[in-house]
Amino acid sequence: MAPIQQSVTPPINVSPIELPKQIALGEYLFYRISQANPKLRTIFGIPGDFNVDLLEHVYSPIITNKQIKLINPCNELNGAYAADGYSRAIGGLSVFISTYGVGELSAINGIAGAFSEYSPVLHIVGTTSIKDRLKAETGVYNIHHLVPNIDALKAPNHDVYKEMVQNISVIQESLDYDVDANLKKIDRVLKKIVQESRPGYLFIPCDVSDFKVLTNQLFLNPFNADTKYTKLALAIEVLEDVTDHILDKLYQAETPSIFSDCLTSRFGYQKQLDSFINKIPKTVKLFSANLARNLDETQSNYVGVYNGRGSSDVHVKEEFESCDFIMALGFFDNEMNSGGHTANFNKAETTVVVHPDYIKVNHQTYHIKQNDGERLFTLGELLESLTLRLNPSKVSALPSNIYQFQPQPQCNTTDLPPNYIPQGKLIDYFNTSLQPNDLVILETMSFVFALPDLKFPTNSQLITSPFYGSIGYAVPAAFGATVAVNDLGSTRRIIVVQGDGAAQMTAQELSSYVRYKDILPNMPQIFLVNNDGYSIERKIRGPTRSYNDINGQWKWAELLGVFGGVKGKMYDSWVLKNTDEFETFFNDKPKPSSSKLQFYELIAGKFDVPQRVDNMMCQK
DSSP of 547-571, one letter per residue?
Answer: GG---TT--GGGHHHHTT--BTTTE
User: Helix crossing, 579-588 with 423-433: angle to 10°?
Assistant: 20
Q: Which residue has the higher pLDDT, 456 or 227?
A: 456
Distance (Å, whole) CA 27 – CA 47: 17
Q: Helices H, strands E: what count in the chain?
A: 21, 21
What's the one-letter identity of residue 355? Answer: H
pLDDT in tens, 284-297: 999 999 999 999 99
Rounded Cα distance, 582 and 589, in Å: 10
CA-wise closest residue to 126 among 261, 20, 29, 11: 29
Question: Chain-wide mean pLDDT for the chain?
Answer: 93
What's the rounded Cα separation, in Å, for the pair 174 and 400?
59
Q: Is the pLDDT of residue 87 over 50?
A: yes
Q: What value does the mean pLDDT take over residues 173-198?
A: 96
- Least confidently predicted of 388-397, 462-471, 607-616: 607-616
What class, spelled out in words, does domain 423-618 have in CATH? alpha beta
Residue 10 pLDDT > 80, yes or no?
no
Question: pLDDT tens for residues 348-375?
Answer: 999 999 999 999 999 999 999 988 888 9
Task: Say how far apart CA 317 and CA 578 lie, in whole Å.
Answer: 34
CA distances from 568 to 93, 170, 268, 597, 616 (A): 35, 46, 38, 10, 41
**What is the full DSSP assignment across 482-538?**
HHHHHHTT----EEEEEEHHHHHHHGGGHHHHHHTGGG-SSPPEEEEEE-SS-HHHH
Residue 153 has pLDDT above 70, yes or no: yes
Q: Is 346 annotated as a binding residue?
A: no
Report the CATH fold assignment for 233-394: Rossmann fold (3.40.50)
Tell me the pLDDT tens digit for each residue of 472-508.
Answer: 999 999 999 999 999 999 999 999 999 999 999 999 9
Q: Give percent of the chain above pLDDT 90.
A: 84
Predicted confidence at residue 97, as pLDDT, reads 98
pLDDT reported for residue 402: 93
For residue 525, give the nearest of 470, 462, 591 by alpha carbon.
591
What's the mean pLDDT in 390-405? 93
Cβ atoms of 476 and 81 within 8 Å: the answer is: yes
Q: Residue 13 pLDDT > 80, yes or no? A: no
Q: What is the pLDDT of residue 616?
A: 62
Provide CATH code, domain 22-220: 3.40.50.970
The annotation status of 531 as a binding-site residue, yes or no, is yes
pLDDT, position 418: 87
Q: Side chain identity at 41, as an amino acid letter?
A: R
A 10 A CB-CB count for 71 gives 19
474-487 vs 76-90: helix axis angle to the nearest 10? 50
Which residues have a Cβ under 8 Å from the Cβ of 301 and sit 6 or more positions away? Answer: 280, 282, 283, 284, 285, 286, 402
Q: How far apart are CA 366 and CA 239, in angstroms?
A: 10
Q: Quick one: 520 exposed, middle or buried, by C-beta within 10 A (0-12, 13-18, 19+)?
A: buried
Rounded Cα gap, residues 582 and 585, in angstroms: 5
Same fold? 22-220, 423-618: yes
Higher pLDDT, 372 or 456: 456
Boundaries of every domain in the chain: 22-220, 233-394, 423-618
pLDDT at 547 over 50: yes
pLDDT at 2 over 50: no
Rounded alpha-carbon distances, angstroms, from residue 445 to 87, 337, 403 = 22, 15, 30
Is residue 226 annotated as involved in ligand binding? no
pLDDT higher than threshold 50 for residue 620: no
pLDDT tens digits for range 297-335 = 999 999 999 999 999 999 999 999 999 999 999 999 999
pLDDT in tens, 39-68: 999 999 999 999 999 999 999 999 999 999
